Chains A and B, each alone.
Chain A
Amino acid sequence: MSTFTFATAQYESGDWDSAPLVPPNIIDTIARYTEIEVNPTGAVVSLASPDLLRYPLVFLTGHLPVRFTDAERRQLREFLDRGGMLFVDDHNHDIDGVFHKTATEELVRTIGAPVLLPNSHPLFSSFFHFPDGPPTTTQELNGWGDNLVHKNLFAVVREGRIAVLYSSKDYSSEWGYHPENKRFQSVDNTRFAVNIVVYALTA
């Protein structure tokens, strides 16, 4: 059986590596709560590389403007057409910010406009139950970024499956800490990452 590898997308514009602690934290969470065989090291994969097709779930984040090259756009389109899933998180937590504006523009050009994902979507019950939708982040509550608590995620859905999951909640900051520090939390704030991975693997 294939080992699950958490892959982070590398793109030429912007700061693709702005949340280096997220992958190990999610990997730790997957290993902690599930029996999914998970690669302990994760991977970084270029959006323009054919290697993108080796990782059916890819995480993309950043603060800076995102402009895909033609090769990145072409490869990403191929990836999504074949059933891959892209999880995009706005590290700025700002719907008026440059990442949000440019990343959504690029998504529209590449695959189509993300639409509001209802909070009753199976994503929110694929492992842990989140009846109120995506869990709120500290960054939202602290009033950083756009000073909004985003009630929903956005998604591009194909054949009934999420092809692109788009978050303005800044999980890149929320989950960007060393996994050992989970012991200081009363409730593990990375549990929603399990839902995303389980959804990607089973839906």
Chain B
Amino acid sequence: MRLPPDSRRRLELAARVAAIALIAWMVVRALAPTARVEIDERSDSRSLGAALAQWTLAPVPTSVHLSLTQAPNARDRDWLRALGRAGVRVTWTGDSIAATVIEVAARTDPAGGVHAYVSAPAGSRATLSDAVGLLDSVAIGSGVNALTVPIASGALDLGARGEHARAAPPDSVLPRQIVVLGQAGWEGKFAIASLQERGWKVSSRLRVAPGIFATQGTPLPLDTSRAGVVVVLDTSAAAYAGAITAFERNGGGVVLAGNSALAPALRALAPGRIGARVPAASLSFASATPRRALGFYPIVSLAADAVALESRDGRVAAAARRVGAGRVVQLGYDETWRWRLAGSGDAPAAHRDYWSAVVSAAAYRATAPTGASIADAAPLASLYAALGPPTVSRAPLAIVGARLPWWMLALLAALLLGEWGSRRLRGAR
């Protein structure tokens, strides 16, 4: 049935008006949504991945809430943070999440390895793993628990109560040689021996007679590219004070042992002045504190920036400070060799560890990067940082203006095509 031309034009006009009105309505709806639909959504730790994908697509929620039993991984946490930055209010609850933290630092030790500082709920049993597998398990005490890991491959993983914290491997420390300067004597001999037995490379220049030195390796010139620490045994090394000071200010470590800080040229570096020598407090090394059987020079008048490392009967026996870019450790002891020889038990090993710890504390740390690695050292703390503290009650959820229905586009297309087809069929342009 053919419609009269007027009716046909009226229908075409109506279709055109309807299409324009529909377009205008869609534009207005898109720009100024008015419809708000309350959606009671929730997600937990298991379905978080899928929920994130859903929430990222339109319709984008104005707020989401998570009821967590585990801290989200770094990827999901970053995703949630991005949602938050995009205007979505993200809230969470998760009282049962165990707080786990791990921090690692390379050991300045020829044997390598790392120090791991871990924390987890006190009383829990934690596991420490690396890329290869399980390394150790540890009963967690309160506060920070320190562990030494001789060999670690890749990131370290701390697991406790289902939570995992991961720390990237620290940069490798490149141990430099130790330089020992001073008078020939038993202290120098056994300090060198213990350091070498512990794996340190040691060069030394020990004065034997005026102008005559017993030299091992290449101790001089002092340079942080070659040496990490210089151990000054006594005042005879004052001849090198200028080089030692420059070395220290450039980042090198200095150990001032015995009475070496009496040398005026080295006094400026020392954490403190030296007092009158104190005799041994004990005749026997067979105690928990064997160094009580050693005499020492007490360190008095500590500099304001110095830190006491070891005290004996109220007197400071070891102290440290930072000067310039380097560190200075001052030891009051001048006869630790007696401990190595006459100490009870495995005194040589204890002496080796002691001297290694002393030079490690002062050593210049040249590092080599081990490569990037994904780390998540404190998942719960990172969750707080990303999303703020947990909310007590879950906020009602709403989503912005529902998506435009598909039929609206089909209707628009039908109106426009119908109007256009009708005009063309009747010969109009």
Contact = CB atoms under 8 A, between A and B. Distances in A.
Interface of A: 1-2, 4, 33-37, 50, 53-54, 56, 79, 81-84, 126-127, 159, 161, 198, 200-203
A53 B342 contact: yes
A202 B209 CA distance: 13
A33 B347 CA distance: 34
Interface stretch (B88-96, B189-197, B306-314): B189-197
A201 B186 contact: yes
Interface residues of B, number: 33
Given A1-B259, A4-B186, A83-B189, 4 more contacts: A37-B183, A201-B186, A202-B184, A202-B204
Contacts of A126: 214
The interface centre, meaning the residue of B187, B196, B342 with most chain A CB atoms within 10 A of its CB, is B342
Contacts of B206: 201-202
A33 B209 contact: yes
Given A35-B208, A161-B193, A202-B208, A54 B258 contact: no
A201 B337 contact: no
A200 B189 contact: yes
Determine the main DSSP class of B at the interface with A: mixed
Interface of B: 183-190, 193, 196-197, 204, 206-210, 212, 214, 216, 233-234, 258-259, 334-335, 337-338, 340-342, 347-348
A86 to B, nearest CB: 13
B341 A56 contact: yes
A50 B209 contact: no
The interface centre, meaning the residue of A37, A82, A200, A202 with most chain B CB atoms within 10 A of its CB, is A202
B341 A54 contact: yes
Given A36-B184, A83-B341, A84-B341, A198 B214 contact: yes
Given A54-B342, A82-B341, A83-B348, A127 B208 contact: yes
Contact of A159 (B189, B197, B337, B341): B197
Contacts of A159: 193, 196-197
The interface centre, meaning the residue of B187, B207, B209 with most chain A CB atoms within 10 A of its CB, is B209
A41 to B, nearest CB: 18
Contacts of A56: 186, 189-190, 337, 341
A36 B185 contact: yes
Contacts of A53: 341-342
A2 B186 contact: yes
A33 B193 CA distance: 25
Contact of A35 (B187, B189, B209): B209
Nearest to B235: A1
Given A56-B189, A159-B193, A198 B184 contact: yes
Nearest to A81: B348
Contacts of A1: 183, 185, 187, 233-234, 258-259, 334
A2 B341 contact: no
Contacts of B340: 82-83
A82 B234 CA distance: 24
Given A53-B341, A82-B341, A159-B196, A202 B188 contact: yes
A81 B193 CA distance: 12
A82 B197 CA distance: 11
19 contacts: A1-B233, A1-B334, A2-B335, A34-B184, A34-B209, A34-B212, A54-B341, A56-B337, A79-B341, A82-B348, A83-B190, A83-B341, A84-B341, A127-B209, A161-B193, A200-B189, A201-B185, A202-B188, A202-B216
* Complex A-B, nearest 6 residue pairs according to Cβ-Cβ distance, in ascending order: A202-B214, A53-B342, A53-B341, A34-B209, A201-B184, A2-B186
A82 B233 CA distance: 21
A121 B126 CA distance: 54
B286 to A, nearest CB: 11
B258 to A, nearest CB: 7
A2 B337 contact: yes
Contacts of B188: 201-202
A194 B28 CA distance: 103
A4 B209 contact: no
A182 B184 CA distance: 25
Contacts of A127: 208-209, 212, 214
A40 B119 CA distance: 59
Nearest to A51: B342
A57 to B, nearest CB: 9
A2 B259 CA distance: 12
Nearest to A78: B341
A15 to B, nearest CB: 27
A33 B206 CA distance: 15
A125 to B, nearest CB: 10
Contacts of A54: 338, 341-342
Contact of B187 (A2, A83, A161): A2
A176 to B, nearest CB: 25
A84 B341 CA distance: 8
A84 B337 CA distance: 11
Contacts of A79: 341
Nearest to A79: B341
A83 B347 CA distance: 11
A203 B188 CA distance: 9
A84 B348 CA distance: 12
